[in-house]
Amino acid sequence: MVGGAALGATDPGTSRVSRLILLNKPYGVLCSYTDPGGRRTLADLAPIPGVYPAGRLDFDSEGLLLLTDTGWLQARISDPQHKLAKIYWVQVEGEVQASALERLRLGVELKDGRTRPADAAVMAAPGLWPRDPPIRFRRAIPTTWLSLTLREGKKRQVRRMTAAVGHPTLRLVRVAIGEWELGDLAPGQWREVPAPGRPASRVL
């Protein structure tokens, strides 16, 4: 982990250095710094003053979450209009056929509208850390790992997409957001990376 180092770009109009933190959020952690219900939060993992999540990752999902203390950077990362690619490794029930992959690629009709085209492919089981608690296995039903790349952020979108093509999600791990990758971060670990400078030609 890296903490305390001034690695970011200077925020225009101030002398303050923007901060950008990469965190591997474990399963069962709320994507918030507070919770009245007493669940685990980001404060238990990255007690860094002044930062907040740039985007969200569900309580029951794992992987890369970006934290920043700068509003324009949070908007650049989380606002769907910027179409940052987000890559997920997804373990689903059943053997996924080419027809299901094609539906994911072309877009799936959900209750809140059709999803944008996505990159979808079957992948070998990745060498991930064990999940706590483990996923539920049904002995008679095989599982498949998929790599999905999305450029939008509907609520619980990956889970709804795989369910819509007949393959409920068992485990979901985000491994990249735009140029930033999860890499070798273990669950609960974080590191600070250089923040990009604010584009001079655009107001975000």
Q: Which of 20, 19, 43 is nearest to 30 (CA)?
A: 43
31 CB-near residues (< 8 Å, 6+ apart):
25, 42, 53, 56, 57, 58, 59, 65
HEC secondary structure over 69-93: CCHHHHHHHHCHHHCCCEEEEEEEE
Annotated catalytic residue: which of 58, 60, 79, 119? 58
Amino acid residing at 28: G
154 CB-near residues (< 8 Å, 6+ apart):
110, 112, 113, 115, 160
State which H helix or E strand residue 157 sits in. helix 157-164
Write the DSSP assignment of 18-49 as a string of letters. P-EEEEEEPTT-BSSS--TT---BGGGT---T
Instruction: Please indicate whether residue 58 is annotated as part of the active site.
Output: yes
CA 129, chain centre distance (Å): 16
Catalytic residue ranges: 58
